[in-house]
Structure 1
């Protein structure tokens, strides 16, 4: 499958993208490279019998059981945080928005 300008226009429309003319060639090249890579996956042998044979090598007894260790209480965890208030961890703002700028939930 080759992605041409017509298909790129349809994809851009569906994705609500505005592609400037100077970026179209790069986008076409990148999309075609991705499609080529995915098409290479068709060449792989994905016969389930091989995978099932290899999966049977592991026995459940060889896996460790999950054991919870070193539990921290809520208060202890907050004490270890660089910044916290009475109940929550305080973290830096994301994308330049501080929590004081966010609207109050209604």
Structure 2
């Protein structure tokens, strides 16, 4: 399917979108490109794929909600510019 400038003007009119005359041709190329991508998607074989009605029926993988200190302060602080013990050292910002 290909859109011509007259169809672009008609769609803009129906959607109540003001499209200037110098914008019609670039918009025509953009919309034709989008329709080309949709045609490519229609060529994909999805015969073995079950349809997805939505994400409501999907369960998210959960982990235990446990508070820890991470257990590896050396890995966390290896790139710190300055450190004091197991903490970041930052300059004083309030006098």
What's the TM-score, normalizing by structure 1? 0.46
Question: Equivalent residue for 1:68?
Answer: 65
Q: For structure 1, which runs of at least 5 residues remain unmatched after alignment?
A: 53-62, 71-106
Larger radius of gyration, structure 1 or 2? 2
Please state which structure has a larger fraction of its residues in helix: 1
Question: Equivalent residue for 1:23?
Answer: 23
In the comparison of the two structures, how many residue pairs are matched? 58
**C-alpha distance in 1, partners of 2:66/2:16?**
49
- CA separation of 1:69 and 1:21: change in aligned 2, threshold 3 A: farther
**C-alpha distance in 2, partners of 1:2/1:33?**
9
Please state which structure has a larger fraction of its residues in strand: 2
Shift of 1:30: 0.3
* CA root-mean-square deviation: 2.2
Query: Alpha-carbon deviations, 1:7-62, whole Å to 9, x = none?
Result: 112210122111111111100000000001111111100012xx46xxxxxxxxxx
3-state DSSP of counterpart to 2:45:
coil
Specify which structure has the bigger relative contact order, considering alpha-carbon pairs within 8 angstroms and separated by 6 or more residues: 2
- CA separation of 1:66 and 1:13: change in aligned 2, threshold 3 A: farther
